[in-house]
Every structure is written in C-alpha cells, then in structure tokens.
Amino acid sequence: MQEFDFAIVGAGIAGVSAAYHFAPRARVIILEREHVPAYHTTGRSAALHSETYGSAEIRAITVATGRFYRNPPPGFAERPVLTPRGALIAGRAEQQPALQKAAAEYASLVPSVRWLEPPEVLARQPLLKPEAAGGGAVFEPEADDMDVAAIHAGFLRGARAAGAVLRLNAEVAALDRKNGRWEIRLGDGETIAAANIVNTSGAWADVVGGLAGARPVGLVPKRRTAFTFDAPAGVAIEKMPMVIDFDESWYIKPEVGQFLASPADETPSPPCDAQPDEMDIAIAVDRIETATTLQIRRLKNKWAGLRSFVSDKNLVVGYDGSVPGFFWLAGQGGYGIQTGAAAGRLAASLALDGKLPADIVELGVTEAALSPGRFTQR
C-alpha cells in the first residue's frame, strides 16, 4: 500500500495550492475524481481578483494572495498571472449614501479605492445608462483579471517538483482510520494510506467529511451562471472596467473581444456537475439590457458552477476537533481563486506548525474565524 503524510482530496485551486505549500515539507498525494483537474468550480470562474469582495477575513486573505500572484517565485508562470482590469460597483441615485459608505470602508484596507461621481462612472464605462450610475460607484482601480489556468498550472507544477503525486480518476469512496492512519479506498477498489486527509473537495466537502465521520460544517453549494457574448462592433472594450451592480444582481466583465456576464445567481444545489439554467440567463440578459446600452443577440458560451458557502461566508480551515488527522480547507464560495495562494499557505502553516503565518495574522485573520470548530463543536 502506498503511504503518504497528507492525502489531499480534490484538485481544484484549493487542492493544488495546498499541495504546493505542503509538498516541500511532507509526502503528498492529490486524489481527484475527474479525468482532469480543475473540471468543477475552478474551471468556471469569472477570474477577478478583488480586494473589496467578501468578509473582512476573505478580503485580508485576498490581499495576501495578491502579494503572491503579483510577484510569484521564478518559474511559477511564463507571464504575469494578474493583469489590470479595474472594477466599478455602480448604483442608482437612492443608493448613493450606501455606496459612499462602502467606498470608505473598503478604502481602509485598499487605499486606492474611492467613490466616483456619476459622470466619472459614465466616462469610465460609457455603455452604462445614466440611471444605472445615478448614485455613482465604488471604484477599485487595482482589481485585476486572473489567469486561472496559469495559476492552477503553476501550483501543480510546483507541487510536483517538490514530490507531490497527482492521481486522476481517483474518487475517494471510503475513509477508515486504523492505528493512527487513514486507509483511503478509491472508487476502483485500490487502497492508499495517509496519516492525514486534507479536505479540498469543494462542493463535496461535507460529503467527504461524512466519509471520515466528521460533523458537517453546513456547506451550501450555490449555483452561479455565466455566459459570454460579443462586444458591439467597433467598440474597444479591452480597457473598460468590470461593472457589478450594487445589489449584486448582474455583472459584465470585458474579455478579449467579448463580455463575460452573470445574473450573480445563488441557487442552492446538491453537489453536482452544475449546468446553466435558461431562465437565469434570460434574467441576466434582461437586467444587463436594462442597465446598459448593450443588446445581447447571441450567446457565445454558457456555463454554471457551484460556489460553496458556510453560514458566515468565511473559509473553513483547520483540523477537525473530533476526528484526528482530518483537515478542512473548504467554503471557498465566490473567492476561491483570489484567496487561493494564501489559503494554501495558511493551511500548511496551521497543519504543520500549528499557527497562522505572521503576515496573515497582521492582516487581521484569526484561527478562530476560520476554525471548523465554529460549526462542528458539540
């Protein structure tokens, strides 16, 4: 039987970042059920790195991750993995006080964030109708596009270089703790042994926790739909910022020659291979055509993915309080890529050193805020 220190379940962004940070110090295997890594949520994101999005802890871990993505170690990727985009959170006239309050709050963590007057919003994003920007906007100039494929590949390459093994078509079907180690039975009947499990199984995190006998953290996978469509002929969109409406009921993000769009839906779903729903797409088209001058005639591509949240929308990171050798790295919600690097690093630090890295503590993150015990303690 092959024997490892850590068996990481799932090869999305959480699994490969964990492997990258654990592998220099431990024997690591990544077990992925699908025939390719990043098949589920990681391959379906909108790829924005926003330091104003999410809870205070999520924003802090995003800041720490930005430091890694902006200056990765040599050989991590061939090109920069972050490129400037900018993001506008725009609102109607009656939302102006709330927008100004949000801008002030975000600026305390990200000093470049500021509130823009309606005319400035329209100058930066002329496709918005004036009424959709009547309250101005929170402007985050340092929000960046992420090259998710390059980031995922960089973590995987680095993990393998440090000795980690990736097994595809390797569903974790059963977990038994015997004599202080886990016997991991795969879907094909093979058994692998590891001292510890790292649960990075995304939407399936409570299912995998259940295999180990852990109490659920109450993870709720929520489907989010996305699609792309061509930009209007003759309009140069490459330098335009992403626009998110203040109610988070739609967004559009320029990509090469096209827009990526979403109704920002959050429909609870069992863990599965999520598919887009035509009604959600129709809702998005209507909202975007109402708020902008865009006419969406034909979709180029459409998909959906599961963003999985616990009740406080923070990450769940740490050893389970009741099941020895079972480590959670779950609850990535809508922030798994933008928190990816620092989440993997803080997981390795907690698992191997029993404490968070000092730079992440300095940003205001505590072990208690991430602990699975906040949901699983009896």
| Closest residue by Cα to residue 136 from 231, 245, 235, 262 | 245
How many chain residues bind ligand FAD (CB under 6 A)? Answer: 40
The single residue among 44, 124, 215, 287 that binds ligand FAD, judged by CB under 6 A, is 44
The single residue among 22, 26, 28, 33 that binds ligand FAD, judged by CB under 6 A, is 33
Contact flag: residue 34 with ligand FAD (CB under 6 A): yes
Handedness of CA 187, 42, 272, 19 (dihedral sign): positive
When the beta carbons of 39 and 359 are compared against ligand FAD, the nearer one is 39
- In the three-class reduction of DSSP (H, G, I as helix; E, B as strand; rest coil), residue 148 is classed as helix
When the beta carbons of 134 and 150 are compared against ligand FAD, the nearer one is 150
Contact flag: residue 64 with ligand FAD (CB under 6 A): no
Compute the distance between CA of residue 135 and CA of residue 144 in angstroms, rounded to an integer.
Answer: 24
CB of residue 334 to ligand FAD, shortest distance in Å: 5
| Closest residue by Cα to residue 49 from 258, 271, 337, 263 | 337
Compute the distance between CA of residue 373 and CA of residue 318 in angstroms, rounded to an integer.
Answer: 8
CB of residue 46 to ligand FAD, shortest distance in Å: 4
- The piece of 25-33, 68-76, 127-135, 320-328 that touches ligand FAD (CB under 6 A) is 25-33
- Cβ neighbours of 211 (radius 10 Å): 20
The single residue among 125, 199, 201, 292 that binds ligand FAD, judged by CB under 6 A, is 201
Contact flag: residue 85 with ligand FAD (CB under 6 A): no
CB of residue 331 to ligand FAD, shortest distance in Å: 8
CB of residue 39 to ligand FAD, shortest distance in Å: 5
- Cβ neighbours of 378 (radius 10 Å): 6
| Closest residue by Cα to residue 241 from 136, 134, 104, 90 | 90
**Residues within window 282-341 making contact with ligand FAD, judged by CB under 6 A:** 305, 307, 332-338
Compute the distance between CA of residue 80 and CA of residue 154 in angstroms, rounded to an integer.
Answer: 11
* End-to-end CA gap in the chain: 35
When the beta carbons of 59 and 215 are compared against ligand FAD, the nearer one is 59
Compute the distance between CA of residue 145 and CA of residue 148 in angstroms, rounded to an integer.
Answer: 9
How, if at all, do strands 28-31 and 3-9 pair?
Answer: parallel
Contact flag: residue 376 with ligand FAD (CB under 6 A): no
Contact flag: residue 41 with ligand FAD (CB under 6 A): yes
Could you identify the residue written with the tokens 């390719």? Answer: 36
- The piece of 36-44, 102-110, 229-237, 318-326 that touches ligand FAD (CB under 6 A) is 36-44
The DSSP secondary-structure symbol of 23 reads: G
Contact flag: residue 199 with ligand FAD (CB under 6 A): no
Contact flag: residue 45 with ligand FAD (CB under 6 A): yes
For residue 290, which amino acid is it?
T
The single residue among 7, 14, 29, 291 that binds ligand FAD, judged by CB under 6 A, is 14
Contact flag: residue 171 with ligand FAD (CB under 6 A): yes
Q: What angle do CA 105, 106, 112 make, to 5 degrees?
A: 125
Q: Which residues bind ligand FAD (CB under 6 A)?
A: 9-15, 31-34, 39-42, 44-48, 171-172, 200-204, 208, 224, 226, 262, 305, 307, 332-338
